[in-house]
Structure 1
Amino acid sequence: MKARFTLAEIQQQALAIVDRDGLAGLSMRSLAGALGTGPMTLYNYVKGREELEALVVDAVAARVDMPAPTDDWHADTRAAATALWRTVRAHPAATPLVLTRRTSSPAGLAPAEGLASALARSGLDGADLLAAFRTVMAFVMGLAQAELAGPFAPEGAADAEAHRVGALTEGALPALFRLASIGAEHADEEFDRGLALVLMGIQHVVESARD
């Protein structure tokens, strides 16, 4: 019997529900309704909630527009990390799943493969390559997690959260107080600055290995 839906169709519909209604809105029943079928039909494709959430992670990964490789590993790594960052940020309701769920298919690992390949073109290998890969991924996902929790220093001095952070840190925690007073007007700018620092460190390791 020919399958009524492709897995990609189910993935994208599940992500659309999460984007619109949040994780709480995703269920076998809501997904079945969006697809115009009954919940029992979906069990031919997905066993339960855990696999359903894994499909959402894969759907996000499928939307990462990985750049074509070039001879410039540094530019490729920046482009790959940026593509991943922008895609994750475009689906904030799905971010908790992206941070905590493993992908369910090789296709879902394509963004990680693109990043690892870019770093490998630097000449790093073994433990250094693994450390570089984990560092870039940790930066991208860590910043996504920080943004999900709310801005450290939101725009506008009158913002209640800014006042709360200021009240907690002023006097007792001067370094954090200074950071809270700076704010991050643009998340992309903060990402670009942070990624540049990370890549500077990796560049130093690459050059040291060549000496």
Structure 2
Amino acid sequence: MPRPRSLTDEQLVAAALSVIDRDGLPGLTMRAVARELGIATMGLYRYVADRQALEVLVVDRIFGTVDLALPAVNWADRIRILMERLRAAADAHPAAVPLVLRHRQAAPAALLLIETMLAALTEGGYTGTGRVVAQRTLIGYLLGFLQNEHYAALSGTGTVTMSELAPERYPHLSDTAADARTLSVAEEFRRGLDIVLRGLGG
């Protein structure tokens, strides 16, 4: 292999995301990323300490694509917009969702997102431990939704199977599963977020 050229974080992350998007998360290895870059595997360690450090760079890139410039609307609508943008950023690389869940607090770009969310909550009157709970509730909703969206999708076999359960034994479950199959991901996210924000007074 030729001597490794100088690489930027942008090039490293682009290569890692190419591997993830093409081969899924199990395909993300230092060897695979090095091959994507056209360098020797050991050469990659000149730029990143290990796979975990590479994963953090990937998550930082995903969060970094979120536009934090929010319109001058009320605090709850700003959070709605921010949450929609967050979900869209994660959805752009669905195989990387487990990395988002795992490294969300290690990525510098995530800290800016949290700061933006906390600013909106502060405007909404949240301070102290109330703000802590509100922020964690919103993040919990987002992370839970991403897990459901990508690992228990409405179009998946699990929902189909439940919709075919014997209604005399599982009347509510079979009926709800049938309704779930008619609901788009975007609508489910929006309506669920509305419930959370109503609970927060927004």
TM-score normalized with structure 1 length: 0.83
* Residue number in structure 2 paired with 1:34: 36
Q: 1:51-62, aligned counterparts within 5 Å?
A: 51-62=53-64
Please state how far the C-alpha of 1:176 moved relative to its aligned partner: 2.1
Q: Select between 166-175 and 48-57 the one with higher mean Cα deviation.
A: 166-175
Q: 1:179-190, aligned counterparts within 5 Å?
A: 179-183=176-180, 184-190=182-188
- Asked if structure 1 preserves the Cα contact closer than 8 Å seen for 2:163 and 2:176, the reply is no
TM-superposition CA deviations, 1:97-122 (whole Å, max 9, x none):
11123444423422222222222221
Residues 48 and 115 of structure 1: is their aligned pair in 2 closer, same or farther, counting only changes over 3 Å?
Answer: same
- Asked if structure 1 preserves the Cα contact closer than 8 Å seen for 2:166 and 2:174, the reply is yes
Question: What is the alpha-carbon distance in structure 2 between the residues aligned to residue 137 and residue 169 of structure 1?
Answer: 36
Question: What is the alpha-carbon distance in structure 1 between the residues aligned to residue 149 and residue 168 of structure 2?
Answer: 26
- Asked if structure 2 preserves the Cα contact closer than 8 Å seen for 1:13 and 1:34, the reply is yes
Residues 76 and 102 of structure 1: is their aligned pair in 2 closer, same or farther, counting only changes over 3 Å?
Answer: closer
SS at match of 2:84: helix
Q: 1:131-210, aligned counterparts within 5 Å?
A: 131-152=133-154, 154=155, 161-168=158-165, 170-183=167-180, 184-203=182-201
Q: CA RMSD in A?
A: 2.2
* Residue number in structure 2 paired with 1:207: none
Could you list the runs of 5+ residues in structure 1 that have no partner in the other structure? 205-211
- Aligned residues between the structures: 197
For 1:112, give the aligned amino acid. I
Question: What is the alpha-carbon distance in structure 2 between the residues aligned to residue 150 and residue 48 of structure 1?
Answer: 31
Question: What is the alpha-carbon distance in structure 2 between the residues aligned to residue 47 and residue 30 of structure 1?
Answer: 15
- Asked if structure 2 preserves the Cα contact closer than 8 Å seen for 1:169 and 1:177, the reply is yes
Please state how far the C-alpha of 1:90 moved relative to its aligned partner: 1.8
TM-superposition CA deviations, 1:107-139 (whole Å, max 9, x none):
342222222222222121111111111111111
TM-superposition CA deviations, 1:150-194 (whole Å, max 9, x none):
324x3xxxx854442134563333332221010243100111111
